[in-house]
Structure 1
Amino acid sequence: MARNKRPIQKICCIGEVMIEIVSDDGVNAKLGVAGDTFNTAVYLSRILADTDVSVAYCTALGSDLYSQIIMKSISAHGIGTSSIEIRDDKNPGLYAIDTDENGERSFTYWRSDSAARTLFQAPCSVPLEELTGYDLLYLSGISLAILTPEVRRNLLHFVSGFCKGGGTVAFDSNYRPRLWESTKAARELNREMWRLTDIALPSLDDEIELFGDRNETDVLRRLGSLGVEFGALKRGALGPINLTTCQKAQGLPTVAEVVDSTAAGDSFNAGFLAAHVKSKDVRECLKAGHNLAAEVIKWNGAITPIQCI
């Protein structure tokens, strides 16, 4: 992990937040608001509510009814909205979740022309420089995939300077093949992000799918060669691997109940990051991430009722 980092008082999560449709019984459905980095922002905001650390979200929305619903939801979760771009001619993305009897989910998306895809495109009222005022930036492979190639390059250039200036960057590759124009582009961008990342939060399955690694040993070796030395390799019910020691985290409870695994990785990331912000050691960070994810997957949808977390 890079040294000479300033204290973390202001966090910004970057990406796309969408309207979520969750099937209740195969006939009815519930409407919600979710998205990978947004889910993490929600759980960060809940966990850090009793601290002086603030959590904000950076995305682009429209001015339509559903964008307004999303904006109200963001605010209701105690998440800052000052870094949200408004595009009057765009709408938010939408996705539906169907869950099988084992808690595994499948997704259907409608997001190809969403407002979030225009984030940081000129002209804009929220340029990349807006992010300079934060201490921790959290983003994912989805955050990168939805952007144009030019904006991706600009974002990586900004992130490099942000890191050198004492900011902390956390990243989860969260690979979704359909969002990328090619596997080659996804590999190149993710390699560069791993080189810049202070807190790495990859999932084993994503890394194997994207890079063709044979097993977790290959994944750990490749990440290490890119300079990754702090964070967690998520492995679902098997428990995370400490990226500093490359050893499995010990003493974690068994995940006994899975209702919906939608936000398992997102909530793990929130638990890990919140513990890190509170100056916990990496073992406590791993435990916090695992325990939060184990609770979240007991509930349907990405965001649990607030009394649960």
Structure 2
Amino acid sequence: MTQNYGFLIDQSKCIGCHACSTACKSENQVPLGVYRTWVKYVETGSFPDVRRRFQVTRCNHCANPPCVRICPVSAMYQRADGIVEFDPSICIGCKSCMQACPYDSIYLDPETNTAAKCHFCAHRLDVGLEPACVVVCPEHAILAGDLNDPASEIARTLASAPATVRKPEQGTAPKLFYINGNDWSLHPSAAQTHDSFMWADKVTEQNASPYARGGVALPVLTANSGASIRTPQQQGYPLNGPIQFGGRVAEHMVQTAYTAQHKINWHWELPSYLVTKNIAAAQDQLALGITFVSRHQKYRGRTLHALESRLDVQSL
């Protein structure tokens, strides 16, 4: 039976300790400022009836991964066991995968300028070990295993408890499942996101750019046609409409207290790569065409010469 690995997270057990985040950074030597797995804090309700919920977020290792399809150099690829892996040695840093991922799970490594993300600790899995986050979780809130193996703990748990996924409407078939998940945590548009969190500022152009801090207007990024680059689109709304608490829309009573964000920008690498690739492809086709015509002419000349020689012999 073909292996098909996935994650299962029980949100009722998560205590927001960030052990998974630190273990992931240590195991994979993730630089400061970026994360492969992180814990999102969402606060719900109004005083005195308030509650803080935790959600572990990472690559969903989708069965239909858009990052793999869009990568122009196949640096993102899907293994036979279902793990979505990446090869930094051939990545050109074009950020196409970052744009395609609906889960904000891919970041650009500040040291290598190549894409990186959770890779299921594939190097550990290949030698029979579990991912680092699974090992260190003190509440056993994270499960990882073969979804196709009915004897595995993750398969048995999924068979006995209802689970949900993030953004099913995107058609990516994610394999990161949540037990006791809630809409105001799973759906990014259900909660307000303020300009600052408990320990860090929200990553925006206004608070990250020196232009804004100096009072200088930010340049607007536009395409040659004049259209705005990457116009924000609303996505992730529940299929049955806005979430409500006692008749009030959830976004008025829910706020994201902490999460990790990765800046997503189109840079010159992608269009320049596509242009040079097309030029190289055209040159190859032109060279192939010239070679074909040249060989055809030589063959035609030899054929005519042989025919003329045969006619001369017959005339004699």
TM-score range, shorter chain: under 0.3
Question: Which protein has the larger Cα radius of gyration, Structure 1 or Structure 2?
Answer: 2
Q: Which has the higher contact order (CA 8 A, sep 6+)?
A: 2
Higher helix fraction: Structure 1 or Structure 2?
Answer: 1
Give the alignment's TM-score, normalised by structure 2.
0.26
